[in-house]
Amino acid sequence: MVALASVVTAVGTATGMLSALDDGHGSDRARPEFTHTTSPAPLPPVPSASAPPTPTVSPSVKKESTRPGPSPTRSERRERTAVLPHRLYRHPDSQVLDWVRAHPDDPRAALIESRIANQPAAVWFTDHTPATIASRVRAVTSAAAARGRVPVLVPYAIPDCDCGGASQGGAPDLAAYDAWIDAFAQGLGSGEVVVVLEPDSIAQSDCLPAADRADRFASLARAGRVLKAADPGARVYYDAGHSGWNPADRQAALLRQAGAASPASSDGIFSNVSNFRTTADEIAYDRQVLDTLGGPAGFGAVIDTSRNGNGAPADGEWCDPAGRRLGRTPTLNTGERRIDAYLWVKPPGESDGCRAAAGTFTPSYAYELARSVSSS
């Protein structure tokens, strides 16, 4: 599901991170190991009429509407979950920032800088070495806290990452992964942090034998508990795939098995990581998953809007498809019931592996994405 992305030396990848108001080159110069890109799973048949309504999931997915989602009603406003109080953090080292700094005279640089490099995005952690992970996480969280910002962190080291796909890898076994999570948690500090826990680890879990899947889910449930116990300000979200993947009831059942319905482990779900489904479709889908999942009324969802401005391609292409656009800018205040944030989890402009090596920043792709910004 996840194509291997950019290789670096110290932290997961960020596309921007520090708010545009920050001038940002402090001592927290951490470099991602690589980012990733999620490809959709082989699309299953259209769910039966008894399943909760979901978008068509055949390869000939109809073109999705780019209209903004419906505005919340007054009752929905009263039901909204509390939003995090601070702005998101833009990490000062990323491939896009490196390119902008190195190419000030490129005619594309100003647009790429203003619409991509200056936006906050997630920091990926993919090196499963326990000895260094705490310090690498701490470099990001302490820098964010010093600026009063909220970092978005993506632990991505579960064994059998991507089930042998382009981003295969991860810890050698679940015992090593558990130790890595323990060390990861030590770096969180005590401030507000958003954790997007292991993209694809649940939605794609059918690639594992039943016993291995159960063991993975037990480790994910444990990971959430460890992260939240280490930092009461951490909000941990679990993998819900996206609206064109598993039907909402099936995804909710998988999430429950992974501990995502327990407030000791979870604050809700994430969807659309590295994908292109419209924000409106993801809002509807995530609410269906949350309603079926159970758990506290305060559970919410975060949506990756980094490349969904034009929705998903009609032909189902996932690898650097043409005609895509940036989606809604990252925010912790969506104005939508049960939707906690729009995030740029996949760094825009980094290739899925077709325009360049997976994870490589590609200025032509970034410029294409940035030329028009949609509100889908």
Query: Closest by alpha carbon to 295, among 271, 338, 266, 270?
Result: 266
Residue 120 in tokens: 């906050």
The 10 Å Cβ neighbour count of residue 75 is 8
Known catalytic residue: 200?
Answer: yes
Which DSSP helix (H) or strand (E) runs through 240? none
Calculate the CA 349 to chain-centre distance: 15
Residue type, 87: R
Q: How far apart are CA 259 and CA 220, in angstroms?
A: 7
Owner of token pair 């949506």: 303
Q: Among the options 93, 239, 281, 352, which is catalytic?
A: 352
Known catalytic residue: 352?
Answer: yes
Q: Among the options 22, 127, 160, 200, which is catalytic?
A: 200
Residues 6+ positions from 109 with CB-CB distance below 8 Å: 99, 100, 103
Q: Among the options 162, 281, 304, 340, which is catalytic?
A: 162
Residue 226 in tokens: 């460890």
Contact 286, 271 (CB under 8 A): yes
Residue 209 exposed, middle or buried by CB count within 10 Å (0-12, 13-18, 19+): exposed
Helical segments of 9-48, H only: none
Contact 30, 187 (CB under 8 A): no
Residues identified as active-site: 162, 200, 352
